[in-house]
Structure 1
Amino acid sequence: MIDRGFRPDFGPEVEAEVAVLRRGTDPAPAPDARDLRNLLWSSIDEVESRDLDQIEVAEPLSGGETRVRVAIADVDSRVHAGSAIDAHAAWNTTSVYTGVAIFPMLPEELSTDLTSLGEGVDRRAMVIDLVVAADGTTRSHDVYPALVRNHAKLDYDAIGAWLEEEGPAPAKVAASADLPAQLRVQDAAAQALRARRYERGALPLETIEARAEMDGETVKGLVVKPKNRARQLIEDFMVAANVAMAAFLEEHHSPWIGRVVRIPQRWGRIVDLAQQLGDELPLEPSARALAEFLDRQHAKDPLRYPDLSLAVVKLLGSGDYVLQKPGQPNEGHFGLAVDDYTHSTAPNRRYADLVTQRLLKGVLAGGGPPYDDSALSAIALRCTEREDEANRVERQVQKQAAAVLLADRVGASFDGLVTGASPKGTWVRILRPPVEGRVMRGEEGLDVGDKVRVRLIGTDPVRGFIDFARD
């Protein structure tokens, strides 16, 4: 963390402010805040998650429409601009999740308690209120402050299995007269939103994400968390909420921090991959054409589809935060096939989301934005740079854990997929276990997306090195 420029520990000024907050009373709701505590809000997250940024509730309307409300923790009510806590968050800009340890952006006394939408407590929130048509289009949106209460903390795996009819109703769902129907309404709305996104050309990517499983200080294995309906539900609501937030700020002539994924510079390589698979793509980048190609490949070979998804993700490149001035065109989000997109749903974990919340409050108060364009541009640049470094920290820890697991398999051969190729080196991800390493011998001629057979020739758990040679 320190080597990558992060501050892993909170300083004495931060601790002093936290102590004051813990002794104080809850901040009063905004005068125009709506009391929505009676609605059947719930959260769906990892079992172990306590930094709950987002809760949801939905109700069916006439004509097949659904009202979806997403409540976002009002972190700004506790973390004020210019405070020591805010300065620490502005430096790191993101929580870092390594699988071995968590380095939160905000002190846990806040992120897992005072600013978390934990079960059974009243909390201030900013609510994104959507009306979703049966075809997945968003008919209307609004954003306003509210007082909310999370009535059920649920987890992805249990709810996903239940929604897919592969597991029983979790205890909290089974014990409630209304929660089963509530979650079904949410799921139906989420599926409609997802279908509409794909019709617009959003990319149906499926990658394998592995985290180290620890037993004390011992690495037990790498755990892959598969997609399921519960994860999709939250993802779909998150995307819809972020699109609505960007639209709301734009409509009110406020600057905002955009999240962009640019047209891929290596589109030609994606075209080559399609040709290798007996398919074709246009020479000019097209999100819709790429989405249709991915759909065809998923239907053709679902077991190997995550490999193709990974290659495409690597070729698309990472996203950036940018200052978006009202009324000005932006570069859009190629992967989601939307023009205006921001990050607003995780203010406990991402500084860009906290800044977005402050911009929103400036709009609702009828005043000007709390940041000038120069400050917002600097924040966007900092958030992009820190996100990239956080990803490097997380990958480094995963490589160290993987090197431990593979230490006794030197000499073994594996099927893999090339994930990086540049003058700095060629990288391959083996499939079982899902581990990435460098090709030290025989890398000539390899490019991203190539399937290759490699032999493990060495590991260094301390430095996280995993070295392969091409078979």
Structure 2
Amino acid sequence: AVAAVPGLDANLLLQDRVAQQIKDYRETRGALTLQTIESRPVFDNDQISALEIEEKNRARDLIENFMIAANGVTARFLAEHNFPSLRRVVRSPKRWGRIVEIAAEHGTTLPSEPDSRALENFLVNQKSVDPQHFPDLSLTIIKLLGAGEYSAELPEGNLPGHFGLAVKDYGHSTAPNRRFPDLITQRLLKAALRSEPVPYDVETLDKLAAHCTEQEDAANKVERQVGKSAAALFLQSHIGEQFDAFITGAADKGTWVRLLAYPVEGKLVQGFQGVDVGHRIRVRLDSVDVDRGFIDFSRVY
């Protein structure tokens, strides 16, 4: 297909080379190297026969690097034109202390205060020395980094930026067909390009930022619910079996584990005392509820 379009192969190779240069530059600034496992159910008639892992490839890497670059350029363009913007913010992790502990368990000393460059160096090293378990480590770090949010940024503002990407100026702009914050940014961008008035006042932009964050959280919950129901359906024939797992969440609302054998996460309903994010344990599958997406485990000592 590529050969059928004259010059397309050379163009793609050029894009790939530039994308890798962008990636290398971001990593030198402290952008985090993370590798998570995403899965989709494989159906055999009305039964799920497997949970297939979706592999990240070079083409997806190319697109992601260009999108990140475009999002940064758009945010800076609006600031340079004295326009407000809707920023994507990931604050310094509140649980940095636990990240420091995890690094120490792997023989690395991190600073006592959040430092994305130091964390990136640790991640790159771990990916090299233990690539098999790097996705598990990545998921643990992502959980400890905390969720992102949308915030209104005024010209000359001072929002904290995006810790994981190690950028100060960042907003979502490349997918207005599926994400409302991107549509807001596109409207701001068009107004700036046409020298038109700002289409949103500060109060409206603040409300939109809060609304977008809430709706993103709601959408993520639905997506997780569907994934959990699929996983519960897949695991219902494995009740009573034991698995190796690691802790992905530990809070007042519950403790969560992810299996090493399958890309499945569930709640640890017994034996959760004294464990924290990143700890490896042995669990037994106690029950599943497909309709509600519940997967319950107990710890095996």
TM-score (norm 2): 0.97
Which residue of 1 is the match for residue 192 of structure 2? 363
Q: 1:440 to 1:354 in 2, by over 3 A?
A: same
Tell me, in whole angstroms, the C-alpha distance in 1 between the residues paired with 2:78 and 2:44. Answer: 46
2:91 pairs with 1:262? yes
- For residues 433-459 of structure 1, the C-alpha deviation after alignment (integer angstroms, 9 at most, x for no partner) is 110001111111111111111111111
2:137 pairs with 1:308? yes
Which residue of 1 is the match for residue 210 of structure 2? 381
Displacement after TM superposition at 1:218 (Å): 4.0
- For residues 108-159 of structure 1, the C-alpha deviation after alignment (integer angstroms, 9 at most, x for no partner) is xxxxxxxxxxxxxxxxxxxxxxxxxxxxxxxxxxxxxxxxxxxxxxxxxxxx
User: Which one of the candidate residues 299, 302, 322 is aligned to 2:128?
Assistant: 299
Tell me, in whole angstroms, the C-alpha distance in 1 between the residues paired with 2:50 and 2:212. Answer: 31
- For residues 39-93 of structure 1, the C-alpha deviation after alignment (integer angstroms, 9 at most, x for no partner) is xxxxxxxxxxxxxxxxxxxxxxxxxxxxxxxxxxxxxxxxxxxxxxxxxxxxxxx
Which residue of 2 is the match for residue 335 of structure 1? 164
User: Which one of the candidate residues 412, 416, 419 is aligned to 2:241?
Assistant: 412
Tell me, in whole angstroms, the C-alpha distance in 2 between the residues paired with 1:446 and 1:313. Answer: 18
Q: 1:174 to 1:249 in 2, by over 3 A?
A: same
User: Which one of the candidate residues 24, 41, 46 is aligned to 1:195?
Assistant: 24
Following superposition of structure 1 onto structure 2, how do residues 56-455 of structure 1 map, counting pairs within 5 Å?
A: 172-214=1-43, 217-455=46-284
Amino acid paired to 2:190: K
Displacement after TM superposition at 1:389 (Å): 1.2
Displacement after TM superposition at 1:330 (Å): 1.3
Amino acid paired to 1:327: E
Displacement after TM superposition at 1:211 (Å): 2.2
Tell me, in whole angstroms, the C-alpha distance in 2 between the residues paired with 1:219 and 1:453. Answer: 25
Tell me, in whole angstroms, the C-alpha distance in 2 between the residues paired with 1:317 and 1:385. Answer: 15
Higher Cα Rg, which structure: 1
Tell me, in whole angstroms, the C-alpha distance in 2 between the residues paired with 1:404 and 1:461. Answer: 6
TM-score (norm 1): 0.63
Displacement after TM superposition at 1:215 (Å): 5.3
Backbone CA RMSD of aligned residues: 1.1
* Percent identity (aligned): 53
Displacement after TM superposition at 1:354 (Å): 0.4
Tell me, in whole angstroms, the C-alpha distance in 2 between the residues paired with 1:217 and 1:259. Answer: 40
> Aligned pairs, how many?
300
Amino acid paired to 2:70: A
Q: Which runs of 4+ in 1 moved over 6 A?
A: none
Displacement after TM superposition at 1:431 (Å): 2.0
- For residues 207-226 of structure 1, the C-alpha deviation after alignment (integer angstroms, 9 at most, x for no partner) is 11112334565434322111
Gaps of 5+ in 1: 1-171
Tell me, in whole angstroms, the C-alpha distance in 2 between the residues paired with 1:426 and 1:439. Answer: 5
Which of the two has greater helix per residue? 2
